Amino acid sequence: LAGVFYIMIAFFVGLAAINSHTNMLYWLFSLMLSTVVVSGFYSGMMLMGLSARRIVPRRGMVGQSLTAEYELANRNRIIACFALNVDDHVLDGDDAPRGTFRRGMRGGRVASGWALHIPPRGSARVRSTVVPRRRGLLELRGFEVHSGFPFGLVRKALVFKRSAQVIVHPRCHRLGRRLIAELFGGDSSSPNTSRDLGGQEDFYGLREHRPGDNVRMIHWRRSARDGTLMTRQMTRPRPAQIVILLDLRPGEHTPDQAERAIELAASWIAHADAEGYAVGLAVAGPVAPVLRPGAGRDQRNRLLDALALIDLRDADHGTPPLNERAGHLVISPLPRQDPIGPPDAARLTAADLNRHAPPHAAKESAA
Amino acid sequence: MNPLKLYSTLLYAQVTLGVACYCVAVERPTLAMISLGTIALSWLALHASRKPGADGPIGGAMPRWVIFLASVAISLATILQHHAGFKERMIEVLSEYILLLNLVKLFDRRSIRDDGQVMLINGMLVTCSMIFTIDLYFAGMVMGYLAMTMLTVMVMQIKIAHDHAQAADDTPRAAPPAPPLSRAYRIQFRDTALVLGILCLAMSVAGFLTMPRGSLPAFASLDPDGPVTGFNPNIQLDDDTQITQSLNPVMYLKLSRPGAESLEFDGPVLVRGNVLDRYDPRQKRWNRGRYSYFLTAEYSQRDKRELRLDAAPMDREPFAAEFTMLRPMGETLFSIQSPVAFRSEVHTAVWHGKLDNVLTGRLPPNLKGTVQYTVACVDRGPQPALAGEIARHLELFPQSLQFSDLDAAPSFGSSADDQEERRLRSLRGDPGASPIYYARRPVVRDPRVRELAESVMRQAGLARDPKSMDDPADHLLAAAMADHLRARCAYTLDLPALPPDADPISSFLFDSRKGHCEYFASALAAMLRSIGVRCRVVTGFMATEFNSGGFYVVREADAHAWVEVYHPDAGWRAFDATPDGGLRDVAAQAGGWLALLRGFYEHLEFQWITNVIGYDDQARSQLIGREINLHEAWHWLLVRVRAMADWLDRLTGAGRWSLLLLAAAAAAGVISAVAATILLARWAWARWASRWRNWLPRLAAAPTPRPGAVDFYAAMLRILARSGLRKPVHQTPAAFARRLVDSDPVRFAPVAALTDLFYEIRFGDRPLDTDRRRRADALLNALRRPARP
């Protein structure tokens, strides 16, 4: 629009020049037209030699910044790029249209980044940040690199129709540190604690020494007796197992309450993982994988992925099988008449989220 | 400097320069002071910090409603103040309105959109300024303004990109991240701005030269009152007006003959403006008589042709006097000697009085700026126009045969003469057209004047019959009386007080004996007419200053008055009774380097006005349809070199060494150009060779690593060395990279990647293909940047 306005003014200056036969106005008119040409030429030349690649994280979290990076490479040998904007087309749920895209890409949100300068045959990384509003799949449909440099009269754009998806985890709230102990009777190791080979705690057995074994673990007396170096094998405690049983079967709850229940489950997963528990997940109602208890970052991501991808519109697929060795935590949107899970399972509802995790204490995402 | 911080400074600099351009164009220093003070206040309110280093300005933007009310008030005030003369002063009123809006809008800067509006209004202001003046220094200011505007707009685009990204960012942040700056950015931005500016300038010049021109008059203006100069079309002897001593140029005068570049006379050139043949003793004022309108030639600008005013004598070669008036000076058209032809692109009508050889012209209304016209004149020689005109008049009006009787008694002013003249006019039926009396009426009634004239005549050994119409000895008489005045009276600009009822000419001749050129000319005319010599007073300029560019510079202080005396054979001849020291001293006040620089500036201004401001359709046709003639081009070059040498000679006083200096400078320029060409060719060859080196191995299908394939690692080491991080000789590349990464994993991550790439190519026998080169370049660029947002 600025360019159109500018050309209109140039047109009037031209009329004034012709009317008054003033050479200074002729020159000004000529200069105004030349700036339009130069602006369009330079903008086009800048973008002609530009290639772009988008780098997005695989996962994000509701309410937390999601940073996408765009690697812009300027293949041009002479022309440097200045003042480049990268607008990415973000669709996460039914967001209201906020930005417009060219060539039919309309609606959704725009995540924008900018690059001050890319030298000839150089590259730069541009970051744009978007805050996901809903769990699920956040779709980056395509991005546009545009610039009005040098004079802003002509805006050139380069559209890259490359889609990408990011799994947006439910929001994780910070929970109280003693919450697990309170719910599971003060025994942090749980009733079903066991030990695995490979630790440093209790004696497990003897085996032949192998190169690389710790020499301090050599059982010298047995070695002297057998004439072969023998190494002591020790045990380590197996982490306590908690299975979160998310009850999302059709009921009287609202979708918001179901989302709150999912958030509570996610918070529990993050919390229990941080406390060293092996966490599993089973969802009653919607289609979701049953995940056996496990520990570590991969397991946590698998669990949160499963929560992120729960489709509440299809929530009538029965109850998952129970894991007898683990402690159970049943989370439901509302208290139900037909509870699932073992009788000794701990039970929480979505309303407990406010009690366990105040809204202002959002936990930083570790995704 | 950070472009985001530089932006506001540039914007204010641009607005300040634009306002200064306007104030210079309208020549209003008070307005300039007020405007610049307002701009400074806006800067103080919107940008200046309370304390050094503190964030946030002292004040803030004004509320929108205040700006709205102020705009409405300005509009109303403008309408009310100028409703009467709005049409006549439309551009001026609009300019003032735009200026006020611009100043108010400066206090309403909240977003980039507001800044754009401020810039737009400011641009409109400068556009209006272009209509007011075309001076060279103003053109220089406009050039600076446009360059500043381009730079501001370019930085503004960076700001817009930054703000766009900020607006789309969902994450709340305390402050926007500072953009990463590097030396490469600064250099490339500067070079890009320079190249784009030159490109725009070149394109605009091409458009300017090739754009078709219309045929309408130029330089419309709204100031009907011309500037005060030393020249007046009439002479008023009893008022207290001071002759100006200003050295401001009034006109540039270029004299040329066909085939010659320019013409310089040996002595001063008298530029004739108006001819005054009637003196009114009551009002003490010299006027142009009504006879002057007898037989005129009209000229219409629409014809765009050369107007033939008179036939040039066969034995005299006319020369062209090209006048470039820096400002229009009423209806007066100047000429040198007798004009025989006239040409102008601006004037709508021209009258030529054949009786007095005076040109007057009509300009378009509300015209300001330069006016150019050319008058073909005949060099000093016989101009028997008057005799022919008298004979023609007598043929038309045979009753006026009695004129000779009347003319024998030159006692103009008496009641008897008035009655006789009225009687003659009634007989003739053509009041006011009697060339018999032309330039013969006595000026003053003081008998001492005639006595003085007769005394001087006797002293010179001359005699004259007062009743004779024209005497061949009149020129000798005029010369003797001019000598007498020069010897007896003194030139001064500080005129003595005149008694209330005294006649200024008599007082000058017999009492004070001091005066300026108008008094000398009036006294000479009075003495000559008292003994029957036909003469008249001429006002104009005395051009003495010849610029090395080939033209005369006529200044306000060069205004002059002299006398023309009629000779039956030689026509009108000029006699100047003013002492030589008078005008010359005034004009030669400034000297030395300043005068030389001023001369150089005026040379530039003359070229500017002649070639740029005066560029018209004819010049365009000549330029576009011109065939390249090497001989002419060489001649043109020689003339320019000679002119430059002359200028250097005047500037340095080096005499013949100036040519050597110029030759040395030219040689240095040629050597520099050759060296630059060689370097450019070498650079281009290196680039092409590099490209071919990349291509040839591919064509030969031999992807063997070259010795220079790992140059990027050396470049990495150089970058690190600049930061004081040098790789010890005993350390392997991997160990060196590990050490750096352990110290700062984020900063030295590219080092690890480059080292891997180095091992891959150097020892892994991989080629440095385009992808790897690009990766290496990207990593090196990342390493050059110390920090990222």
Mark which residues 146-205 of B lie under 8 Å from A by CB: 146, 150, 153-154, 156-158, 160-162, 164-165, 167-171, 179-182, 184-185, 188-189, 192-193, 196, 199-201, 203-205
Higher-scoring residue by pLDDT: A114, B472: A114
A83/B157 CB distance under 8 A: yes
Distance CA A345, CA A332 (A): 13
3-class secondary structure, A204? strand
Q: Which of A25, A120, A152 sits opposite B130 (nearest CB)?
A: A25
Residues in B closer than 8 angstroms to A117, CB to CB, are 182, 184-185, 188-189
For residue A186, the tally of other CB atoms under 10 A from its CB is 9
Contact B322, B254 (CB under 8 A): yes
Q: How high is the pLDDT of residue B765? A: 73
Distance CA A21, CA B301 (A): 14
Distances (CA, A) of A331 to A146, A191, A242, A257, A278: 48, 20, 13, 11, 17
> How close B254 gets to chain A, by Cα (Å)?
22
| Residue labelled with tokens 């489950």 | A265
> How close A265 gets to chain B, by Cα (Å)?
26
Mark which residues 214-253 of A lie under 8 Å from B by CB: none
B150/A2 CB distance under 8 A: no
Instruction: Say whether the peptide bond before residue B499 is cis (omega within 30 degrees of 0).
Output: no
Q: Which residues contact B303 (CB under 8 A, 6 or more apart)?
A: none
**Tens digits of residue pLDDT in A208-265:** 888 888 888 899 999 999 889 999 988 776 667 888 999 888 888 888 899 999 999 9
For chain A, counts of helices (H) and of strands (E): 7, 17
Please state whether B387 falls in left (phi above 0), alpha (psi between -120 and 50) or beta: alpha
Contact A153, A2 (CB under 8 A): yes
Which residue does chain B place closest to A129, by CA atoms?
A: B169
Composition of chain A by helix, strand, coil, percent to 5: 25, 35, 40
Of A47-61, A162-176, A178-192, B252-266, the range with the lowest mean pLDDT is A178-192
Q: How high is the pLDDT of residue B148? A: 92
> How close A93 gets to chain B, by Cα (Å)?
16
Work out whether the CA dihedral B486, B491, B495, B496 comes out positive or negative.
negative
Residues in B closer than 8 angstroms to A16, CB to CB, are 127
Query: Is A8 in CB contact (< 8 Å) with chain B?
Result: no
Distances (CA, A) of A201 to A48, A212, A232, A234, B379: 65, 20, 11, 6, 126
- Enter the DSSP assignment of B754: H
Mark which residues 478-537 of B lie under 8 Å from A by CB: none
Split chain B (789 residues) into runs of 10 and give each run's mean pLDDT. Answer: 79 93 88 90 76 58 83 85 68 87 86 87 89 83 92 90 79 57 83 91 89 52 43 74 70 81 78 86 79 56 65 71 81 83 80 77 72 78 50 46 33 42 47 60 83 88 78 84 89 77 86 87 90 88 81 84 82 82 52 70 79 74 67 76 72 63 79 87 78 58 53 88 83 88 84 89 79 87 66
Instruction: Choose from B153, B347, B348, B372 for mutation: most chain A CBs within 10 A.
Output: B153
Q: Which of A21, A23, A38 sits opposite B216 (nearest CB)?
A: A21
B203/A73 CB distance under 8 A: no
- Chains A, B: CB contacts within 8 A come to 185
Contact B21, B137 (CB under 8 A): no
Which residue does chain B place closest to A26, by CA atoms?
A: B208
Distance CA A22, CA B676 (A): 39
Helix (H) or strand (E) holding A70: strand A66-74
3-class secondary structure, A28? helix
Distance CA A336, CA A288 (A): 21
Distances (CA, A) of B352 to B60, B325, B327: 65, 19, 21
Q: What percent of chain A has a predicted confidence (pLDDT) above 90?
A: 18
Work out whether the CA dihedral A159, A164, A165, A171 comes out positive or negative.
negative
> How close B354 gets to chain A, by Cα (Å)?
33
Q: Which of A35, A73, A113 sits opposite B774 (nearest CB)?
A: A73
Q: How high is the pLDDT of residue B200? A: 92
Residues in A closer than 8 angstroms to B204, CB to CB, are 27, 30-31, 33-34
Residues in A closer than 8 angstroms to B219, CB to CB, are 20-22
Contact B180, A116 (CB under 8 A): yes
Q: Which residues contact B254 (CB under 8 A, 6 or more apart)?
A: B262, B321, B322, B324, B550, B551, B552, B606
B218/A20 CB distance under 8 A: yes
Mark which residues 129-148 of B lie under 8 Å from A by CB: 130-131, 134, 139, 142, 146
A24/B207 CB distance under 8 A: no
Q: Which of A23, A42, A77 sits opposite B613 (nearest CB)?
A: A23
Buried-exposed string B541-562: b where 16+ CB fall within 10 A, e elsewhere: bbbbbbbbbbbbbbbbbbbbbb
CA diameter of chain B = 126
Please state whether B781 falls in left (phi above 0), alpha (psi between -120 and 50) or beta: alpha
> How close A249 gets to chain B, by Cα (Å)?
35
Q: Which of B170, B184, B789 sits opposite A131 (nearest CB)?
A: B170
Distances (CA, A) of B581 to A130, B347, B491, B508, B585: 85, 37, 8, 18, 6
- Joined tokens for residue B276: 């005054």
Q: Which residues contact A141 (CB under 8 A, 6 or more apart)?
A: A89, A90, A91, A105, A108, A161, A163
Q: How high is the pLDDT of residue B581? A: 59
| Residue labelled with tokens 């043109």 | B636
Q: How high is the pLDDT of residue B214? A: 52
Q: Which of B162, B164, B196 sits opposite A38 (nearest CB)?
A: B196
For residue B124, the tally of other CB atoms under 10 A from its CB is 20
A119/B788 CB distance under 8 A: no
Q: How high is the pLDDT of residue B582? A: 55
* Per-residue pLDDT at A364 exceeds 50: no
Q: Which residues contact B308 (CB under 8 A, 6 or more apart)?
A: B340, B341
> How close A159 gets to chain B, by Cα (Å)?
17
Residues in B closer than 8 angstroms to A31, CB to CB, are 146, 200-201, 204, 207
Q: Side-chain half-sphere of B720: how many Cα atoms within 13 Å?
A: 25
B208/A37 CB distance under 8 A: no
> How close A199 gets to chain B, by Cα (Å)?
30
For the segment A80-95, the average pLDDT, to the nearest whole number, is: 81
* Per-residue pLDDT at A163 exceeds 90: no
Mark which residues 107-126 of A lie under 8 Å from B by CB: 110-114, 116-117, 119-125
Contact B158, B165 (CB under 8 A): no
Which residue does chain A place closest to B207, by CA atoms?
A: A30
Please state whether B264 falls in left (phi above 0), alpha (psi between -120 and 50) or beta: beta
* ipTM for the whole complex: 0.77
- Joined tokens for residue B505: 């000419």
For residue B265, the tally of other CB atoms under 10 A from its CB is 16
* Per-residue pLDDT at A302 exceeds 90: yes
Which residue does chain A place closest to B212, by CA atoms?
A: A18
Distance CA B139, CA B133 (A): 9
Mark which residues 139-198 of A lie under 8 Å from B by CB: 147-152
Q: φ, ψ for residue B156 (rounded to 5)? A: -65, -35
